[in-house]
Amino acid sequence: MALAQLLSPYQQRVDQCLREALVRWPSADHELQQAMEYALLLGGKRVRPVLTYLTGEACGAGSAALDSAATAIECIHAYSLVHDDLPAMDDDALRRGKPTVHIAFNEATAILAGDAMQTLAFQILTEPLAELAAPRQLQLVAALAQASGAAGMCGGQALDLAATGKQQTETELATMHRLKTGALIQAAITMGVLCGSDEAQQYQTDFAEFGAHLGLAFQVQDDVLDVVGDTQVLGKPQGSDSAAEKSTYVQLLGLDGARMQMQHLHDKALQALARIPYNTDKLSKLANILLTRDH
């Protein structure tokens, strides 16, 4: 099964949900609304929402709950990209081959759009759901907040900024990645389980382990592709990480070492998945396809 074939139905679904959220909770300011639309509907693989859908479907979750969780997590991811691209952060002018939000609009609007997209994520999760009790909805809010904040994504981004120009150990690099991107990938999976049956909750630890290994494997792979990939295919200049003086797995472990580490993490992810007595075929397929991509 090709990646596009697996992802496409879920991508369309989350795109539709994001469009609906922008209509359901419109901005008071026209430009802010446009900037949020631009940032939320720019495309991308939508890996996090897809993980939520696939996990939730394995756990017997209802579709409305999954739409809510998947849309919220993509709002957080999209806001983080808008802020990461700002001049004071990574100073990127292009994202997916198009001007970043602060270039297409302006810096103030990009800051506010990111802020409002974070808020929108939590707002989406508060919509009453017939199929999910309030205590479980509150756990969804908690899981997303835990993964996004100072002990998660924001903390990881701060560690990344602090490490620029310094040599990190493998442990430091792993900690940074586990927070900066891993926390949200893991939350996508945790939230999928939270949308599922009561029985499914007992497998949260196994799902979380799958998510943690998968998330880190993506990062090791990113470092590998950054060295061997082609600029045009990746959509960002090849070797941009080393140019920005950031530690990478390839630099620490060598290209072959990094590839072995990725395979090790991939194996561990699939082992965790194998402990779960549900149909997790699509999740393992997604992991296999994503971790063998060459761009």
- Please report, as ranges, the residues that interact with its own copies according to CB under 8 A: 25-29, 31-33, 36, 79-80, 83, 86, 88-89, 106-109, 111-112, 114-116, 118-120, 122-123, 125-126, 133-135, 137-139, 141-142, 144-146, 148-152, 154-159, 161-162, 175, 179
- Of 59, 110, 109, 108, the closest CA to residue 84 belongs to 110
Closer residue to its own copies in complex, CB, 120/252: 120
Residue 225 CB, shortest distance to its own copies, in Å, is 26
Q: Which CB sits closer to its own copies, 156 or 192? A: 156
14 vs 36, beta carbon nearer its own copies: 36
Q: How far is the CB of 107 from its own copies (least distance, A)?
A: 4
Least distance from its own copies to the Cβ atom of residue 289, Å? 31
Smallest separation (angstroms) from its own copies to the CB of 130: 13
Between residues 87 and 97, which has the closer beta carbon with respect to its own copies? Answer: 87
**252 neighbors 242 (Cβ within 8 angstroms):** no
d(CA 132, CA 111): 33
- Between 7 and 36, name the residue whose CB sits nearer to its own copies: 36
Q: Among candidates 4, 106, 10, 102, which has minimal Cα distance to 49?
A: 10
The torsion angle over the Cα atoms of residues 54, 56, 59 and 65, rounded to 10 degrees, is: -160
> Which positions ≥6 away from 289 have C-beta within 8 Å?
1, 2, 3, 6
> Partners of 98 in the beta sheet?
95
